[in-house]
Amino acid sequence: MKKELINKIEAAITELKQGHLIIIADSTDREAEGDMMGLAEYVTPATVNQMVNKARGLLCVPMDRAFATRLGLHKMVTDDTDAFGTAFTISTDAKTTTTGISAFDRADTIKQLAKSDSHADQFYHPGHIFPLVARDNGVLERTGHTEAAVDLAKIAHTTPVAYICEILKKDGTMARRKDLKAFAEGSQMMMITVDEIIAYRQIKDELTVLPAVKLPTKYGDFRLEAFTEDENQEPTLLISKGELTGTEPLLLRVHSECLTGDVFKSQRCDCGAQLEQSLQKVAQAGRGAVLYLRQEGRGIGLLNKLKAYQLQEHGYDTVEANTKLGFAADQRDYALAARILRKKGIAQVRLLTNNPDKIKQLTALGITVTERIPLEIPATIYDRKYLATKKNKFHHLLQEVN
Among residues 278, 212, 222, the alpha carbon closest in space to that of 251 is found at 278
Determine the Cα–Cα distance for residues 243 and 250; give it in Å rounded to an integer.
9
Beta bridge partners of residue 221, listed in sequence order: 216
Residues annotated in the binding site for Zn(2+), as ranges? 258, 269, 271
Q: Are 162 and 38 in contact (CB under 8 A)?
A: yes
Residues annotated in the binding site, as ranges? 253-258, 269, 271, 274, 296-298, 318, 353, 358
* Catalytic, out of 105, 151, 270, 330: 330
User: Which residues does 142 contact at the CB level (< 8 Å), separation at least 6?
Assistant: 85, 134, 135
CA dihedral angle for residue 313, residue 316, residue 322, residue 323, rounded to 10 degrees = -150
Alpha helices in 328-383 (DSSP H): 335-343, 356-364
Determine the Cα–Cα distance for residues 249 and 245; give it in Å rounded to an integer.
8
Per DSSP bridges, beta strands 34-39 and 22-25 are antiparallel
342 belongs to the catalytic site? no
Collapsing DSSP to helix, strand or coil, 223 comes out as: strand
330 belongs to the catalytic site? yes
Among residues 114, 108, 105, 111, the alpha carbon closest in space to that of 68 is found at 114
Cα–Cα distance list, 95 to 8, 100, 159, 167 (Å):
38, 9, 21, 29
User: Which residues does 162 contact at the CB level (< 8 Å), separation at least 6?
Assistant: 37, 38, 39, 40, 61, 62, 63, 149, 150, 152, 153
* Catalytic, out of 135, 142, 201, 332: 332
Residues annotated in the binding site for GTP, as ranges? 253-257, 274, 296-298, 318, 353, 358
Cα–Cα distance list, 34 to 23, 24, 282 (Å):
6, 5, 48
Catalytic residue numbers read 330, 332
